[in-house]
Every structure is written in structure tokens, then in C-alpha cells.
Structure 1
């Protein structure tokens, strides 16, 4: 019996026709490749960093929340702590007077004594009270802080002082400011000429202390 001849099919794999045009079946794989490439190129877009205004707003909210958590003192608590302090201070004064017969009682703290205390601190920081013949020790930064404290006191007490209190505070500020200028100028001269001595204590000593 004769062998059966198996027919075969010839596939034309050429991309172009005899007229030079691109075959339709050749375009399809290229489109599929481009689609797959575009899918592969898609990546996750990172979230933009948090802007500074948003971060500042969160910080402000956190600070406000912290303030709200602070317990607010009641009027009763304030009065009780004040009464306890005054009672303890009175017992301390009694004990000191008992241990030191004839000792004068300390004068009450008032506005005048507050100004004088800061004033004297500034004078001492500028070299006041230095024994004669000794080199003055100057704390220029500390003196500046004390002078600034007097200035804050003046600003915050405007309209609440008597005429005498206002005049005393003005005189105190004038004296310590002038003393500060005198000392800083002397320190500048001493930096240029190390042999130059510092001036004597400012203003010859405090003049407003009563």
C-alpha cells in the first residue's frame, strides 16, 4: 500500500508584503510588546513629604494640648498655700527672735525694698563695695540682667506707682545705667591698654538706698 502523503503548510513569516507594506500580523506583536513595557514601567508614586506649615500646625496643636493638660489652680488652693506660707514665715521669725534677743524685726518687703534690692545687686556686680586698694570684680553680664530687671519692673508697673515710687525707680535706673556705661568704657580702654586701671566703684556708692 502506498504511503499517505502528509500535506504541509508554508507560513510566510516575512514582515512585509511584496508591495513593501507591513503585514497586519507583524504589527500586533509590536503593540503587545509596547503595552507590556508600559505596564512594567508603572511604579508606585511616593507620597510627598509633609509640608512645613502642616508640621508647624501639628507642633502648635501638641503644645496647646500640653497647656490644656496643666491643672489650673483654684482660688481656694491659692489662698490655702498663701496662708500656710505666712504661718510658717511667722513661726520662723518668732524662732529667730527667741534665739537672738534684741534683734530688730526685718522690715516688710514692699516696692521700695524690691527696687533697692535689684539696684544694690547691680551696683555690686559693677564692682561696688570693693575694699579700697583692691581690684574691683565686675560681673558685666550679671549687671546687665539686673538693669534689665529694673527696666521690666518699670514697664510693667506703669500707672500703678505713686509719685515717690516712680521717681525712685527712675533714679535707680539712671544711676545703674550710667555706672554700666562707665564700667564698659573702662573695660574697653583696658582691652586696648592693659595697664589702664578700672575706675573706682560706680558713683561713689549707692545714693538711693534709704
Structure 2
């Protein structure tokens, strides 16, 4: 690709800092430069923009990442390995008790290593999830 083709695609980086490297205030930019949205070049791009926006609106935002959501993720993974939840990729329920045990052991290790550093809600969450997963594992292993 030539440099001209590359310039038309991608993104633009603009320095929005209010001060220069010397610490002095920068001059204000004219209002006409503030419109950063590039104009679509073809009809296909014009049609693709609303479709992409609709697709983004349909997708649910991800929950905030914290310790509890991480434990819930490991719980879901274990349920998948126990065959309790269908695999999202295939839609089939498959058991993999070795992976289920490994994930349960991982949650137990996290419980041990984080002891004393969690809130009471987080401690209860880990305790109850471990109890439930261990019970389900024993039932499946019989």
C-alpha cells in the first residue's frame, strides 16, 4: 500500500494536553478542528456505519472486572466442564472431570492465597461456590 492509501484509513492521534512540555498553557484550538469524525468516502461505508452502530447497541456491555466476576467466570467454566452448561461454541454438553477438578482446585488455591484480604461478601461467595462445585463434582464422579 502506498502512504496515500494508509493515511485514509485508521485513526488520528491528537494531543489533548492543556500544557506544553515546559508547563505553559497551550493555545486553544479553533472550533472547526473539533469535528473529528471523518466523512465516509463511499456509499458502502455510509451504509455500513448504521449497521455497525446497531450491532454495537445490541451487544450487552461487559460487567466490571473485579474479584467476584472473576470467581463467577471460573464457576461458569467449571459448570461447563461438569456438563451442567452447554458449550457456547458447540451447543453440546460435554463432561471433562479432569478440567473441572483443576478449576475447582484453582478456586480453592485463590481462597487460600487471598484469605484475610477479601471482603466478607467475597469470602462468602468463594466459600459457597466451592461448596456447590465440590458437591456437583462428587455427584458426577460417582
The TM-score with structure 2 as length reference comes to: 0.55
Residue 10 (structure 2) aligns with? none
CA RMSD of aligned residues (A): 2.4
Match of 1:153 among 110, 131, 136: 110
- Give the Å deviation of 1:137: 2.1
- 1:8-157 paired onto structure 2 within 5 Å: 100-101=56-57, 103-130=59-86, 136-157=93-114
Residue segments in structure 2 that go unaligned for 5+ positions in a row: 1-51
Shift of 1:98: 8.1
Contact 1:97 1:103 in 2 (8 A): no
Structure ID, larger Rg: 1
Instruction: Say if 1:112 and 1:165, in contact at 8 Å, map to a contact too.
Output: yes
**Distance in structure 1 (CA, Å) of the matches to 2:136 and 2:67:** 23
Structure 1 residue 147: deviation in Å?
Answer: 0.3
Deviations 1:44-87 (A, max 9, x none): xxxxxxxxxxxxxxxxxxxxxxxxxxxxxxxxxxxxxxxxxxxx
Query: Secondary structure at the residue paired with 1:121?
Result: helix
Deviating 4+ runs (over 4 angstroms): 96-99
For 1:137 and 1:105, locate their aligned partners in 2 and report how far apart those are by CA, in whole Å: 28
Aligned to 2:124, which of 163, 167, 172?
A: 167
Are the structure 2 counterparts of residues 126 and 103 from structure 1 closer, same or farther at C-alpha, using a change threshold of 3 Å? closer
Cα deviation, residue 100, structure 1: 1.2
Q: Once the 2 structures are TM-superposed, how far is the Cα of residue 129 of structure 1 from its aligned partner?
A: 1.9
Q: Which has the higher helix share?
A: 1
Aligned to 2:136: 179
CA distance in 1, matches of 2:63, 2:86: 27
CA 1:161–1:136 in structure 2 vs 1: closer, same or farther (change >3 Å)? same
Q: CA deviation at 1:107?
A: 1.7
Contact 2:81 2:99 in 1 (8 A): yes
C-alpha separation in 2, matches of 1:121 and 1:184: 17
Residue-pair matches, total: 87
Q: List runs of 5+ in structure 1 lacking aligned partners.
A: 1-95, 186-210
